[in-house]
Chains A and B, each alone.
Chain A
Amino acid sequence: MLTNLEEHDAIVRAPDVIASVRDLKIHFRGKRGMVHAVDGISFDIRDGETLGLVGETGCGKSVTARAFLRLVQTPPGVYAGGSITFRPRRVCDDCSGVGCRECDGTGRVAAHCPACGGKGCRTCGGTGEETVDLLSIPDAQMRALRGNRIAMIFQDPGKALNPGLTVRDQISEVFLQHRTAEILAAAGVSPNDVLLRRQASQKSRAFEKMLLAVPPLRSGRNRVDAALDTMVADALAQTQIPNPRKVMDRYPHELSGGMRQRVMIAQALACNPDLLIADEPTTALDVTVQARILELIRELQQRHKTAVLYISHDLSLVRRVCDRVMVMYAGRVAETATSQQLFRRPTHPYTRGLLGALPGRGAHRGRLAAIDGTVPELVDPPAACRFVGRCPDEVAACSRTDPPMVEIEPEHAAACFVHAPPGKAAATRPVRTP
């Protein structure tokens, strides 16, 4: 699967990294030229961690998030370079996903490298585990990962749920798409029953549905439906929705915002994904509900040891929820650090500006509005620090070349000529995972 071994050695060597982005570039064809929405970013997501992604509006957070699911619309988007390597897991054989000692309670175990079947070969760098490049695998393989190994929670659950389908219909789809074998097993149906297998993978055409509605075949269909209902109810119960069986029959507009987001979460976590992408999951909710939803995500994340890419405007939330934080500015990474480091010792002037905008320091409600100026035009940007023009500490070098990511202390790196000068640190200690 792995195409260019040298570029991906980070993920291959580090067994705790589950996704690894290298020099990712996503551009949009605009009227006035190429918009470099994401312009060469690199970072890793480690197994089970919550990585926060912050930055002002328009700096490329959502585009980065969508790239993991390869959902950036092309056109107008262009995947202009780089890679996202991902190490998908599979359901644990010993506990079939419930969680046991073999799988450390996660219900997931490493998937074997298809080239060597787990023995270790050149393709997998000797680890025996499957690694895929999300930007180059075929569409069918990508679809098999979406909603299954990588899931997404959207900002506004009122818009991201289909108004015309019940909660049951919408959550069932995830199981039907990715858990056909389990549905059939739970229904006590032989996997060789073609008609029911097609039903349990939503492949049935109109005439098959009609066939399944007549008496001798109907009982099988009803068993499949009942098994599916149980799975949907269990998924909903996980998110502490009271009375899941009743909620299942509701349409999204009949639920409150908080309930809808719980439904979204239930849907996203239905298949116990390895990576959950949460793009501002609480921004559209009432303040009172926000905290509860956040706790819920945190709790489920810890129980299943799911890795989370948590996107937010709100630095105070990020501080509470995330293990590590990555600050993005104008399509570039400005700084990466553990949460503690970032708040204790912010290095990049942009990060400092953001922190200055935190509540209690004269700005409104954690929004990142206190830095003067706006994100620059991303149309065909020149080689220079993107923060030039807004930066208080600017020097001549800033407008000549891009500042490289430089490690300041372990786990903490920034891209700034003044505050993370490339000379010293980088020369003596090569940058590990930024």
Chain B
Amino acid sequence: MQIRDYILRRLMVLPLLIIGTSIIVFVLTRVGGSPIGIYLSHEMGPEQVQQIRERFHLDDPLPVQYFYWAQGVLSGDFGWSGVSAAPVTAVFPSKLAATMELAIASGIVAVVLGIWMGTVAGARRNKWPDHVIRVVSIAGASLPLFWFAIVLLIVFWVHLGWFPIGRSDPVIFDSIAHPTGFYTIDALIALSPRAFWDAIWHLILPAIALGYGATAIVARMMRSSLVEELQEDYVEAARAKGLPERLVLKRHARRNALIPTVTVIGLTFGFLLQGTVVAEIIFRWPGLGRWMADAVLRGDQATIMAYVMFASILFLFVNLVVDVVYAYLDRRVVLGE
């Protein structure tokens, strides 16, 4: 099968998966309690409460409620976000941009650093670089994110004051326009080096905190698959051709070692998104994770549904991308089997 046909086929199944997910999540949130609390205030009397119940169809059976919700979603209405006191769709884009910027930054940290660390460790197996990297990655895989994030915060923000928290300096934020919501990109569009450095500066701590665990996973996967590839006959054959060790490693072994690593990177992205909740709370990053945490605490079901829908669509999409990249790297994979 051609890669293109395969992608098309996968894309066609996608809506079914999304509808299924939405039903499950809808039912689960409703089972957890009525969403009415977010709309009430102390001044309301019983009649007003009843009015709200009717307005949001809260007395109807669950399938009917789901139907109303789905109808709204299809017409672009995800409901009212109680925690933001605004429609979900009005708040969502800027939160999404904040989260994606953080997740991508930590993803870059994890991929670049993880592959590099794994390559060095695998190529110098049982030498000192391997031992150092092993300690670093065991720590990364086992330290809880919140703990590591708080340590970074205390050391680099509280004590040393090298890095700020939050997402940007308010003055600098106001000095440029924000068409994309990705502050690094906005700064580049505005050709403002000051805003760009400010955005990067704010990103560093949360990206390292969030990316460390993923870096460790990628590095360990890369190391073990590289060690395995280096035992293969074709590596010896490459040496027998007279290639220098640099090319034996880069062109032959590392390329094939990347295949299993790519799968792990895809899974890691899901892991990163989960982590954004903790990282955003600790570093006061105004993204979806913190929004979602607030929503959960206050029973804001419209916001929860929006977040979960986003997360599941993203996850399905990432999986697709991983499969395609995997197929591209490993020509032996027969797609669709």
Give A residues with C-beta under 8 Å from B: 69, 71, 143-148, 151-152, 154, 156, 159-165, 173-174, 177-178, 202, 251, 253, 264, 267
B331:A253 contact, CB within 8 angstroms? yes
Chain A binder among B237-245, B272-280, B287-295, B319-327: B237-245
Cβ–Cβ < 8 Å partners of B252 in chain A: 162, 165
Once A159-B234, A162-B256, A163-B256 are accepted as A-B contacts, the answer to whether A253 and B240 lie under 8 Å apart by CB is no
Complex CA distance for A251 and B239, rounded to whole angstroms = 20
Interchain Cβ contacts under 8 Å between A and B, 15 examples: A69-B239, A69-B240, A146-B239, A147-B241, A160-B233, A160-B234, A162-B238, A162-B252, A163-B330, A163-B332, A164-B259, A165-B251, A173-B247, A173-B251, A174-B242
Closest to B235 in A: A162
The interface bits of chain B over 302-337 (1 if a CB of A lies within 8 angstroms of the residue's CB, else 0) are 000000000000000000000000000111100000
B332:A177 contact, CB within 8 angstroms? no
Select B242's contact among A154, A159, A177, A251, beta carbons within 8 Å: A177
Is B60's CB within 8 Å of the partner chain A?
A: no
Is B236's CB within 8 Å of the partner chain A?
A: yes
Min Cβ gap A196→B in Å is 18
Q: A-B pairs with the 3 shortest C-beta distances?
A: A147-B241, A146-B242, A147-B242
Complex CA distance for A144 and B244, rounded to whole angstroms = 10
Cβ–Cβ < 8 Å partners of A145 in chain B: 242
A160:B237 contact, CB within 8 angstroms? yes
Given contacts A148-B242, A156-B233, 18 further A-B contacts (CB under 8 A): A69-B239, A146-B241, A147-B241, A147-B242, A152-B237, A160-B236, A162-B252, A163-B331, A164-B256, A164-B330, A173-B241, A173-B251, A174-B242, A177-B242, A202-B247, A251-B331, A251-B332, A253-B331
Once A154-B233, A159-B233, A162-B234 are accepted as A-B contacts, the answer to whether A146 and B331 lie under 8 Å apart by CB is no
Complex CA distance for A160 and B232, rounded to whole angstroms = 8
B332:A71 contact, CB within 8 angstroms? no
Cβ–Cβ < 8 Å partners of A202 in chain B: 247
Min Cβ gap A84→B in Å is 15
Closest to A66 in B: B236
A146:B256 contact, CB within 8 angstroms? no
Is B255's CB within 8 Å of the partner chain A?
A: yes
Cβ–Cβ < 8 Å partners of B247 in chain A: 173, 202
B236, B237, B241, B243 interface centre (most CB from chain A within 10 Å): B241
Complex CA distance for A159 and B238, rounded to whole angstroms = 12
Min Cβ gap A178→B in Å is 6
Cβ–Cβ < 8 Å partners of B330 in chain A: 163-164
Complex CA distance for A251 and B256, rounded to whole angstroms = 14
B332:A174 contact, CB within 8 angstroms? no
Closest to B252 in A: A162
Cβ–Cβ < 8 Å partners of B255 in chain A: 162, 164-165
Complex CA distance for A146 and B236, rounded to whole angstroms = 11
Give B residues with C-beta under 8 Å from A: 232-234, 236-244, 247, 251-252, 255-256, 259, 329-332
B243:A173 contact, CB within 8 angstroms? yes
B242:A71 contact, CB within 8 angstroms? no
B256:A159 contact, CB within 8 angstroms? no
Once A164-B256, A253-B332 are accepted as A-B contacts, the answer to whether A159 and B241 lie under 8 Å apart by CB is no
B237:A161 contact, CB within 8 angstroms? yes
Min Cβ gap B237→A in Å is 4
A143:B244 contact, CB within 8 angstroms? yes
A146:B234 contact, CB within 8 angstroms? no
Select A177's contact among B232, B234, B236, B243, beta carbons within 8 Å: B243
Cβ–Cβ < 8 Å partners of A160 in chain B: 233-234, 236-237
Min Cβ gap A65→B in Å is 10
Min Cβ gap A33→B in Å is 21
Cβ–Cβ < 8 Å partners of B329 in chain A: 164
Complex CA distance for A177 and B251, rounded to whole angstroms = 13
A143:B331 contact, CB within 8 angstroms? no
B331:A71 contact, CB within 8 angstroms? no
Select A174's contact among B233, B239, B241, B256, beta carbons within 8 Å: B241
B331:A178 contact, CB within 8 angstroms? no
Closest to A149 in B: B242
Min Cβ gap B181→A in Å is 31
Cβ–Cβ < 8 Å partners of B239 in chain A: 69, 71, 146
Min Cβ gap B336→A in Å is 17
Cβ–Cβ < 8 Å partners of A71 in chain B: 236, 239-240
Closest to A73 in B: B236
B240:A146 contact, CB within 8 angstroms? yes
Complex CA distance for A304 and B240, rounded to whole angstroms = 20
Complex CA distance for A83 and B211, rounded to whole angstroms = 52
A144:B242 contact, CB within 8 angstroms? yes
A151, A160, A174 interface centre (most CB from chain B within 10 Å): A160
Complex CA distance for A69 and B330, rounded to whole angstroms = 30
Closest to B234 in A: A162
Complex CA distance for A355 and B330, rounded to whole angstroms = 46
Cβ–Cβ < 8 Å partners of B243 in chain A: 143, 147, 173, 177
Min Cβ gap B232→A in Å is 7
A143:B242 contact, CB within 8 angstroms? yes
Complex CA distance for A71 and B238, rounded to whole angstroms = 11
Closest to A253 in B: B332
Min Cβ gap B245→A in Å is 9
Min Cβ gap B187→A in Å is 25
Min Cβ gap A308→B in Å is 15
A154:B237 contact, CB within 8 angstroms? yes
Complex CA distance for A17 and B232, rounded to whole angstroms = 33
Cβ–Cβ < 8 Å partners of B234 in chain A: 159-163
Complex CA distance for A178 and B238, rounded to whole angstroms = 13
Select B240's contact among A144, A152, A251, beta carbons within 8 Å: A152
Cβ–Cβ < 8 Å partners of A264 in chain B: 237
Closest to B253 in A: A162
B331:A164 contact, CB within 8 angstroms? yes
Once A156-B233, A164-B329 are accepted as A-B contacts, the answer to whether A147 and B240 lie under 8 Å apart by CB is yes
Cβ–Cβ < 8 Å partners of A156 in chain B: 233
Complex CA distance for A202 and B332, rounded to whole angstroms = 26
Complex CA distance for A163 and B253, rounded to whole angstroms = 11
Complex CA distance for A75 and B240, rounded to whole angstroms = 18
